[in-house]
Structures are given as structure tokens and as C-alpha cells.
Amino acid sequence: MDISKASRRLKLTTRNEDTGIMKFTSSNQNMDDKMFQDGTPLSPSSVFTTSELKYIPNCFLSAILYCHWDNILGPRLYHVWKIENCDTPPVDILRFLSGQILSGEICRELDSGNIDFKFYVMPDKDVVVSSFVFSAKLDNDLAIQSIGLVLPYCNLHLYLKYHQLLQLCLRRMISKLRILMNKASLSENVLNEFSAWLTMCFEMFSSLTEAGLPQQPRLSDTAFCPLHNLEPEFLYRCITSHLMTFGRSLVVGKLAERVNLVISTLAVFNSDRERACSRLVLEDKPWTFHHDLCVQGLIKSKNGAIVLPMREILCSQYPTTIIDVQNRDVKQSPYSQEHKVRNYEVLRDELICLHYNQIDEHDVICSMFQKAQYNSTLVSNLLEEISKLSADCGIRIAHIQQFIRYLNRKALSLIKYVETETLKGSIPLKGGLKKLRQDLSLTIEGDFRIVIATAEKLKPGIFQFLMGDGKEIDYQSHPLGEII
């Protein structure tokens, strides 16, 4: 699998090269692995280990820190991952950063499962640090620990685009790291394993620069350009489902060109930030599916078979539309409420399996993906309108962007309506969903789902409030309800 492949590539190569004060006394010594555990009489706090992450072509990081709060010595830098071909900031800066990250955390509750986030911008030191503070076991005792991603100041803007995605990735990885640390006290193996995950994660980020979408969508890339032809009916289904699943889609197909056409088309409906977290497929680079990328693709093998990464799909924050370009097939992973439950279960099971060293073979059944057949006048009208507009000068793209703003206004109107009707959630919706849909002219199922997905992004939780808990009846009366 990928993990083993990556870990083979990676070795803890340099050790004790950067040991701060130690450097002067021991630079000529050939230190062995035990060195850092025993410490030295001189300054045990300043010893840390380093390793290097390799094969990441375009990495926006300059280093990754792992530090913890030492009960005697305070903030202590423990391990540094350098990035191949990237300049690591000087040691004193790294040490300073570890102090910063852990500052003010001494009163933290140790047994809380939260992973807190801190973000530092230090222009005078030319660094931006994005760090995660958590508690995990260290030497038979719980300790405050943190992972800090150090990047040069110039990459701040790039980082902000990736922020959401990075959060999700690292939180998942850190949850797993905590399990490993719980099993064994910090050892080389744990760090090696974590290094492998880091490598995979940042390979993915690197691929975003390599095969990302242009910031400003180009009509010529999309199916709205007269040069390309894609059946309008298929396009209609794709877009409807894509908007319903919060703008998350996986496109599979045999020809990279066709897959990319669909990816570019769908990405027009995403926000700028989401578009930055989407990628095209490249023939020669078979990247695997990564959770929480907005629009991505997979290329089928020669014989047309593909294994859908069910588990990873469920790991994503939002449901996903799966589009088979070859068979003109549009499916959806379980819709929001159910997705949320499953997402939680999958993430939890992953941790449990890691803890008990089981390989999770109970793969998720394909049947849980539903064919997406919804009507949406919003989308059909849009497609019709687009066909009336000139294909020049970005008019079509501008019209789609206006459509997205229109959706946002609809969502805002829905939220306002619900806020008034339920006194900001303190009482259940009186008239029920049916009245709401009538009042807001959202009687068509597809329209309603598109708008409510947009609303959920604006106001997280509103979906559950409307479609979840108390509204089970309405939820189950729908075809989706049957598969629960």
C-alpha cells in the first residue's frame, strides 16, 4: 500500500545534526540513537532529532515541528522534519517557535480530546506557523504536545487557500498519531509512521500546485464552450448533484481529457478557495483519491475497472458526487445527515482499528451510493440561459458566478426564514418542511437540496436542524430514507 511505500522511501537520516548548544561539544562525535533519550549533562532541553521528508516536489512548508511541554524544562522541541529542497529556518527560530506554540498552554486539561489550533504570523522572522496543540501520552504520562507547520511568510496566501483542507488532514493524522503514542511511548517507529503520513499529505498538496485549476476559470476548459460537447442531459445531472453535495465531486473515466473537462466544468460552480483545493487528473501521475479535495478525478484502468475508495470518500467532511464519465453515471454518497453519521463512524473505526492493529477489511458496501436523479429547475434554467449567452469574453462564466451568488441569496433567505420561524432554533419549525418549501418556492426536490446545501455552508448545522433529528419522518419518506 501507499503507506508502506512511503515509509520505505523515508528514513531517519540525519540525527543530532542540529542540536543547538550541543553542536559545539558534540559535533565531532558520532552520536547514536540513544543519545537523545539519555540527554546530556549540558543541556538536555536543546536536543532534538531531525529527519527529512523526501519526494515532495512543490512544498509550501519549510519545516514541521514536533514539540511538547516538559514538566521540568517547559516547551521543548522534540523533532524536526525538514523538507527536501527547502530551506529550514535557523535552529534558534525553531526553538523560539516551539516556545511560542506551547505558550499559555500549561493550564490545559490533559484528558481533553480536543485538538486546538493556533496560527502565528511573524513577518519579522519571515515565518508563518500553523500549529495544533493536543494532549497525548508521552513516557507513560499525558503531556501537552504540538505539531507545528512552519512556512515562509511569502506562502501565507497560498496557505490561506489550503487552510480548511489542511485542518481536516492534520486533525485526522494527529488523531491517529495519538493512538500510536498511546500504544507505545514515543519511538522511532511512531515518528516514522507519522512521517509517512506527512509525506502523503504534502504530496497531495504538492499535486494541487502541479495539476491545480486556474484561479480564474476559463471557458475553454469547460463544457460550456461550444468546442466541447457533452450531452446536456448528463451535464445537467452532474451539476445538480454536484451542487447538492456541497460542491464535492469525484470524476472517474478512462480518458484524462474527458475527466478533466468535467472537473473543470464542475469547478466553475465552486468558490475560489474551493477551486484551489481541486485538481485535475494527469495521465502519467496516478494520484489516489484524497479526502476533502473539492473536485478531483480518477482514471480507470485499461479494462475499465475501478475500485472506488469508499472509505476515503466517507472520510470527507461533506458527501461526494461520483461521476462516471464513461458510463454517464452519476451517483451520490449518502446524503448529508447520514453522511455525517457515517463520516464519524469511519473516522472512529479507523482509530479503533489502528489501536488494535487490525486492518479494517470491512469495506463499505458500494450499494450505499445512490443514483442521483433529481430535478432542479434552477439548474435547467441556468443551462438554458447559458446557451443563450455569447461564448465570448467570459460572459458565460460571469453568469454562472452570478448564479452562485443567487444561490447564496436564496440560502440566506432560507436561513432568515428559519431563524424567524423557530426563534433562532429554540422551537421546532412549525409549518414543517412542506410549508417552508412552498413559502420559499423550493418545492422541487433538487432545488431545495441545492439551496439547503448552500445554506449549510453558510450556517453549519442548519441542515441537521431542518432535516435531522425531529424531522426523521420527512427524511425517511424520501428514497434516501430506505437505505438507512
Partner 1 sequence: MFGEYAQVASYINQDGTQNRGGERGNSSYLPSYLLPMYQSTNPWQTGHDMSHDDFIIIAEFSEIEGPKPLMTIPRDGGSEFDKNAFSVKIMAVDHQTSTSGFSLSEDTQVILTDSGEFNVSAFVHHFALYDNEARGFVRPFCMAYVTTDQRYFKYGNKMVFVKDLEQHSSDLEYTKNCLIVNYRKAASDESITSPTDDRKYQDLNNIQTTLEEIRDILVILKPLLNDKRLENRFYTLEKRAWHDWNRPNKSDTMSLQENWFTDHTGTATAHYGSFHEKNENPLHLFDREKVYIPKLVETKRKKKFDRTLRSLHELCSWGAKEGMKKLRSIYEHFKRDGMILEIESNESCLLDSPSSVLSIGQCVTHNFLSNLSLRPADCSYLDINSKPIDITQRWSSLDTLESSMESFKSVVSLDSLRSAQSSDSFIIATDRFSDEDEMSRQKSVPRTDSNFSISSSHTDTDTVPSVYESFPNSPVKTADKTFLPGEISSTEDRKSSLSDSKSDTSKGFSENEDSGIHSENQNSIHSISVEESISENIQNNSIQTDNIRDEIKGSELSRVPSTSSQLSESSERLDGIINIGNSSGKIDVLDRSLSRQYSEPDDNTDTTHSSTDGIRCTFSPLLRKPRSGVYTLGDLLFNLRPGSPGIGIIHVLNKYSNLQFIINSILTGRIVLVIGTIKEELEVIKLVTALSLFLPQHRRKHNCILEWSSKPLRISDLSRIKLAGVCKSDKRSVDSNVKKYCTIIDVEKRVILAPNYQGVLINNIISKKKCFKTDADFIAYTHCWLMDIASKVFIFYHSFCLGSTKLLINSSTISSYKQQYCNSVKGFLTKLGIHDNDSPIIEYLTEVVKLIQLNITPNEDGSRVLPVALSYKPCQLYRC
Of 256-315, binders to partner 1 (CB under 8 A) are 271, 273
| C-alpha distance from residue 479 to each of 69, 224, 236, 240, 320 (Å) | 52, 32, 20, 17, 18
Q: Shortest approach of partner 1 to residue 65 CB, angstroms?
A: 15
- How many of the chain's residues bind partner 1 (CB under 8 A)? 103
Q: Shortest approach of partner 1 to residue 421 CB, angstroms?
A: 7
Gap between the Cα atoms of 163 and 37, Å rounded: 35
Closer CB to partner 1, 306 or 391, in the complex: 391
Task: Report whether 370 contacts 334 (CB < 8 A).
Answer: yes
Closer CB to partner 1, 97 or 372, in the complex: 97
Which residue of 5, 11, 285, 348 would you call a contact of partner 1, by CB under 8 A? Answer: 348
Angle of CA points 349, 355, 358, to nearest 5°: 70
Q: Shortest approach of partner 1 to residue 396 CB, angstroms?
A: 9
Which residue of 9, 23, 409, 478 would you call a contact of partner 1, by CB under 8 A? Answer: 409
Q: Shortest approach of partner 1 to residue 225 CB, angstroms?
A: 5
Which residue of 3, 73, 307, 393 would you call a contact of partner 1, by CB under 8 A? Answer: 393
Q: Does residue 327 bind partner 1 (CB under 8 A)?
A: no
Residues 25-54 that bind partner 1 (CB under 8 A): none
Closer CB to partner 1, 9 or 405, in the complex: 405
Grid cell for residue 344: 464519524
Q: Shortest approach of partner 1 to residue 9 CB, angstroms?
A: 27
Task: Report whether 304 contacts 326 (CB < 8 A).
Answer: yes
Task: Report whether 52 contacts 69 (CB < 8 A).
Answer: no
Which residue of 95, 237, 410, 449 would you call a contact of partner 1, by CB under 8 A? Answer: 410
Residues 459-478 that bind partner 1 (CB under 8 A): 459-462, 464-465, 468-469
Closer CB to partner 1, 326 or 464, in the complex: 464
Closer CB to partner 1, 209 or 464, in the complex: 464
Closer CB to partner 1, 173 or 306, in the complex: 173
Grid cell for residue 33: 540513537
Residues 351-390 that bind partner 1 (CB under 8 A): 351-353, 355-358, 362, 381, 385, 388-390
Q: What share of the chain is helix, strand, coil (3-state, %, to 5)?
A: 50, 15, 35
The one segment of 29-37, 41-49, 202-210, 454-462 that binds partner 1 by CB under 8 A: 454-462
The one segment of 41-49, 234-242, 322-330, 338-346 that binds partner 1 by CB under 8 A: 338-346
Gap between the Cα atoms of 296 and 280, Å rounded: 6
Which residue of 304, 425, 470, 479 would you call a contact of partner 1, by CB under 8 A? Answer: 425
Instruction: Give the strand order in the sheet containing 249-253.
Output: 295-299, 249-253, 321-324, 329-332, 370-371
Q: Does residue 24 bind partner 1 (CB under 8 A)?
A: no
Q: Shortest approach of partner 1 to residue 274 CB, angstroms?
A: 12
Q: Shortest approach of partner 1 to residue 405 CB, angstroms?
A: 6
Residues 76-135 that bind partner 1 (CB under 8 A): 96, 99-100, 103-104, 107-109, 111-114, 116-125, 135
Q: Shortest approach of partner 1 to residue 423 CB, angstroms?
A: 9
Q: Shortest approach of partner 1 to residue 40 CB, angstroms?
A: 25
Q: Enter the DSSP assignment of 449.
A: H
Closer CB to partner 1, 143 or 412, in the complex: 412
Closer CB to partner 1, 5 or 409, in the complex: 409
Helix (H), strand (E), coil (C) string for 198-210: HHHHHHHHHHHHH
Q: Does residue 397 bind partner 1 (CB under 8 A)?
A: yes
Q: Enter the DSSP assignment of 90.
A: P
Gap between the Cα atoms of 317 and 346, Å rounded: 11
| C-alpha distance from residue 263 to each of 69, 256, 257 (Å) | 45, 10, 10
Residues 212-231 that bind partner 1 (CB under 8 A): 216, 218-220, 225-227
Residues 131-160 that bind partner 1 (CB under 8 A): 135, 156, 160
β pairing state of 74-83 and 49-53: parallel
| C-alpha distance from residue 226 to each of 214, 222, 223, 251, 266 (Å) | 20, 9, 7, 21, 16
Q: Shortest approach of partner 1 to residue 408 CB, angstroms?
A: 6
Gap between the Cα atoms of 417 and 435, Å rounded: 11
At 121 the three-state DSSP class reads strand
Angle of CA points 358, 345, 472, to nearest 5°: 155
Q: Shortest approach of partner 1 to residue 402 CB, angstroms?
A: 6
Residues 171-200 that bind partner 1 (CB under 8 A): 175, 178-179, 182-184
Q: How many CB atoms lie within 10 A of CB 19?
A: 24
Instruction: Tell me whether residue 371 is exposed, middle or buried, using C-beta atoms within 10 angstroms of its C-beta: 0 to 12, 13 to 18, 19 or more.
Output: exposed
Which residues have a Cβ under 8 Å from the Cβ of 422 and sit 6 or more positions away? 428, 429, 430, 465
Q: Shortest approach of partner 1 to residue 312 CB, angstroms?
A: 16
